[in-house]
Structure 1
Amino acid sequence: MTKKAKHLFLTIATLLLIGCGTDLPTPTSQSDSLTTAQAIACTFSIPINEVPDPSPGDTVYLVPQIEENTLGWTFSWRAEPDVLLDDDIVSATLIVPNDVSQIEVDLEAVNAEGCPGVGSLLITVAQPTSAATEAVATENGTESVATLVPTEEATLQPTAVPTDTRAPSPEPTQAPTATETSTSEPLPTSPPQPTATSISPPIITDLELLPSGAVVVRWIWNGQLTPTQNFAVRFWSERDPRPEARFSITWTKENQYAFSVNNVDYPIGTYFVNVAVMEGPSNGVHTEVTRSEDRPLFVDAPDPTTTPPPLP
């Protein structure tokens, strides 16, 4: 090969290398576009159970409507105003403050595959209605309706005086009239006794589902169990509307109890728990004295072989 041919060959090879280098695609931009498209495709919305208009001081339970297993998920709750008691679990809790008309709740979650989900709920707070007091204008100012009672009684007495002056003999007949007026005041009919004898319900202070598949519930009660009374712990699915579905897990004298859930007896979903004070034997005739409010719990049922750990 001559020197001129070698030079021409090297020139052509150099041009081919430069041309191939300029036509190479940019893998980084394609990868970024694919990742963005996948994230948009797997984004999902999370409905949150509607909450009826609560009143200030009420405890509200926020339960997301998620049908699949939430193992490996992460949850983040936010509220405006910030009244959440817990914000990093499946179901959150808040207490309605005073002097607010609405509470905005937002939920962000990421499932086990990394797909983001969002949900929101607007809670309308029931405003307390103050009883309007009637008033009557007097020369000195304004007086409540309660001041009208002695005024009416005072007007009744002068009407009895001229009757007595006209006919002294019928005084005995007017005396019974006065006694009838006195007996017409049934003061003992006021009902303070039922209020004094009312029994307050148990209050559930702790309800959680442990990673081992154990449900732990603890409660307090300001009463004292008699020898014939027990606490009954009840657990049932929100999907089962039958009254008999709210059966007792156990009867106990203690203020705490733990039991295990599995995929056979307790399918994944939302359940309710309450604690009742029962009078009578569990295997005979018994009655409910009082019970706590129903607390929701979302259950990711573990393997059927799991057993609850011992309580501390």
Structure 2
Amino acid sequence: MAIFNITPYDPSTFFLTGVPGLETAHIWISIPFSMCYIIGLLGNCTILFVVGKEQTLHKPMYLLLCMLALIEIGTSTSVVPKALCIFWFNLKGITVGGCLTQMFFHHAGSMTHSSVLVIMAFDRYVAICNPLRYATILSTPRIAKLGLVGVTRAVVFILPLPLLLSRQPFCANRFIPHTYCDHMAVAKMSCAEIAVNRTYGLVIAFVILGLDLMLIVLSYTLIIRAVLRISSRKAHQKALNTCTAHICVMLVSYPPGLFSTLVHRFGQGISPHIHIILANLYFLFPPMLNPIVYGVKNKELREKVGKYTRRIWVKLA
């Protein structure tokens, strides 16, 4: 508690405390944080580089992978470097404007990420259930337009969050018990009523993102029904293999985000350090695991990555 007494009050600054209760272990916590972040950056940049270089990969599915990679790089970069500054250099201060900007980018990135997962589920549905019309229904320009719609939706629905908070009066205690500026963590610093902020945050989490999840479940339900109608066991396996990577990505993407949203509102009995570490997994695990999952499950992408990796080794040798 000494930090609360020796730090001067600054009305233009918030202070991110890192992981409450584990301050002495910040250096150790930073090791997996930095490793996951670097692996995620390398993996996603590799996907962007390989798809950009290879004309044979200029297809809707790989365009979606590039969108996902860009979003993951942007979202994790909006959060992890600041967390590492806290862990390594004890740089806890962040301006109110910087805090609200960080909040906008990581929440908007999360919603855009969800939109891309919906498009990917629809892509797999068309590829398996209506393969003859795949090129017509999901052309590259149409995928780009759907991605733009996802970005626009995120901006429209997330922008009110920082705008609402910017009008709130904040109390003298400006220490946010977190590694980044999460919406509810910042809202709790306000001296005024935050019922509107709570309600709007829940609407986004359970109506908007809940609708995305329902559309994804519907797509895969229709895919499974179509696969079960195929008599060939080999066709079964091929169809399911094309969906496995997408399902894995969704399993590592949605639970941490929903868990963090619920705990901020209803999880008073959960230790803060457990909540914060699990909340950070959303910005660490999906960016790190997604390139690995797609690299393993997608033969074409795996071969192209292998080709460029061999070239690099030859040059280094």
Q: Is the shorter-chain TM-score for this pair beyond 0.5, marking a shared fold?
A: no
| Higher relative strand content | 1
Q: Looking at CA atoms only, which structure, 1 or 2, has the larger radius of gyration?
A: 1
- Greater per-residue helix proportion: 2
